[in-house]
């Protein structure tokens, strides 16, 4: 291999980078657009399949680049139709993504990091330490894999995307934004930004940055408690980013984007299942236009957390509705294959982690 330079992953190149490459090689600028379209819109894995590109140019590309792609290594189907993919990355690491079918929608839930650095006590992903950020193409490819499965198994198009898999998307900001750009661009999947939701444990500085960057997708916050003392115990990130700072960033977000915020909230027995917590949530919801998803707790081990009784969830709904706040109770999906919220932990891959 002496004298040969290391080949570059072509999917790290932007359209402008590719244009520069072709112009420097004495080719036409529009060649870049053709290649880019094969790489992103058509998700080609092989230069030789680029049928409108001359053999000579394909050889030139092969001499400089490789095409990295993720691979669905293992697929599990739940009795409720949910599909979980174990996705192998080019370096052998694995993340999980989930296809969630409902009557009206098919939603892709994708990961943004291998593991997670936040230590939310109730989440299985937190048990894996953060190993690395995903590249933009690795996030994008998870969506493409689910889009293909939606067509293959359900004969329906992918309608929604949630960044609610493994990892904290706002701690991998640049790659997540690039992935969303590709998902929404005509050269990529051409999806409407309003069909994408980014979920965060709440990093005020980055929420403000998103607002400044003029993003058009929706925002969800994993809240779980509107009382600092309780939230500190559930999500250590709250100790450095308390609710006051979160509120401040959400006001900023709403002022700039006019986009309503969703709060994700689990009611746990003995932790936040009393009126005091429900009222605190109702008050919290008044800072910016928002709605609440009351999500069911998915047990991750024999641990300290138990889903609160239905009567307590009903109490939350009643109090929120009395305050004019829209609250929906979300049933868990894919629990039998550990595909539900907070259950993504590469269980079938423990050997390599």
Q: Which residues bind ligand SAH (CB under 6 A)?
A: 122-123, 164, 168, 199-201, 222, 264, 266, 295, 297-298, 300, 341-342
Which of 43, 298 has the CB closer to ligand SAH? 298
φ, ψ for residue 218, nearest 5 deg: -95, 160
Is residue 3 classed exposed, middle or buried when 0-12, 13-18 and 19+ CB atoms within 10 A define those classes? exposed
Q: Which residue sits closest to ligand SAH, CB atoms considered? A: 342
Q: 158: which DSSP letter?
A: -
Question: Of the listed 123, 138, 341, 349, which one is catalytic?
Answer: 341
Which of 77, 330 has the CB closer to ligand SAH? 330
Between CA 26 and CA 73 the distance in angstroms is 40
Minimum Å distance from CB 266 to ligand SAH? 5
Q: CB count, 10 Å around CB of 147?
A: 20
Tell me which long-range contacts 320-326 makes (C-beta under 8 A, separation of at least 24).
320/278, 320/281, 320/282, 320/285, 320/292, 322/282, 323/282, 323/283, 323/285, 323/286, 325/282, 325/285, 325/290, 325/291, 325/292, 326/291, 326/292
Between CA 186 and CA 192 the distance in angstroms is 10
Minimum Å distance from CB 80 to ligand SAH? 16
SS3 205: helix
Is residue 350 classed exposed, middle or buried when 0-12, 13-18 and 19+ CB atoms within 10 A define those classes? exposed
Determine whether 123 is an active site residue: no
Minimum Å distance from CB 307 to ligand SAH? 8
Determine whether 109 is an active site residue: no
Which of 53, 326 has the CB closer to ligand SAH? 326
Question: Of the listed 96, 138, 168, 264, which one is catalytic?
Answer: 96
183 contacts 40 by C-beta, under 8 angstroms: no
User: What Cα–Cα distance (Å) separates residue 286 from each residue in 210, 251, 282, 319, 322?
Assistant: 21, 10, 7, 13, 13
Between CA 219 and CA 241 the distance in angstroms is 17
Minimum Å distance from CB 127 to ligand SAH? 11
Q: Which one, of 54, 47, 51, 179, lies nearest residue 110 by Cα?
A: 179
Between CA 230 and CA 244 the distance in angstroms is 14
Tell me the sheet residues that pair with 307. Answer: 268
Residues with catalytic annotation?
96, 341
């Amino acid at each position: 291999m002496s004298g040969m330079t290391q080949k570059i992953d072509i999917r790290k190149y932007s359209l402008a980078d590719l244009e520069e490459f072709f112009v420097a090689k004495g080719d036409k600028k529009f060649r870049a657009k053709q290649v880019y379209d094969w790489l992103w819109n058509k998700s080609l894995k092989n230069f030789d399949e680029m049928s409108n590109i001359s053999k000579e140019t394909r050889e030139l590309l092969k001499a400089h680049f490789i095409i990295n792609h993720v691979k669905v290594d293992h697929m599990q189907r739940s009795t409720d139709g949910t599909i979980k993919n174990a996705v192998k990355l080019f370096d052998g690491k694995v993340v999980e993504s989930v296809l969630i079918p409902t009557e009206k929608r098919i939603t892709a839930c994708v990961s943004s990091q291998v593991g997670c650095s936040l230590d939310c006590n109730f989440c299985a992903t937190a048990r894996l330490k953060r190993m690395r950020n995903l590249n933009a193409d690795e996030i994008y490819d998870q969506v493409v894999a689910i889009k293909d499965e939606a067509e293959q198994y359900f004969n329906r198009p992918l309608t929604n995307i949630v960044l609610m898999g493994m990892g904290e998307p706002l701690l991998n900001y640049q790659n997540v934004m690039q992935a969303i750009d590709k998902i929404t661009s005509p050269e990529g999947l051409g999806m409407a930004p309003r069909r994408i939701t980014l979920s965060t444990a709440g990093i005020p500085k980055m929420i403000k940055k998103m607002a400044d960057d003029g993003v058009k997708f929706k925002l969800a916050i994993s809240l779980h408690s509107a009382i600092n003392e309780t939230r500190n115990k559930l999500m250590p990130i709250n100790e450095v980013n308390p609710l006051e700072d979160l509120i401040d960033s959400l006001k900023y977000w709403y002022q700039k984007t006019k986009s309503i915020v969703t709060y994700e909230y689990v009611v746990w027995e003995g932790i936040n299942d009393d009126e005091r917590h429900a009222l605190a949530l109702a008050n919290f919801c008044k800072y910016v236009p928002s709605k609440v998803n009351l999500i069911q707790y998915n047990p991750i081990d024999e641990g300290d957390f138990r889903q609160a009784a239905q009567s307590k969830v009903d109490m939350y709904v009643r109090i929120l509705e009395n305050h004019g706040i829209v609250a929906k109770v979300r049933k868990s999906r894919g629990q039998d294959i550990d595909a539900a919220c907070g259950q993504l932990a590469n269980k079938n891959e423990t050997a390599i982690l």
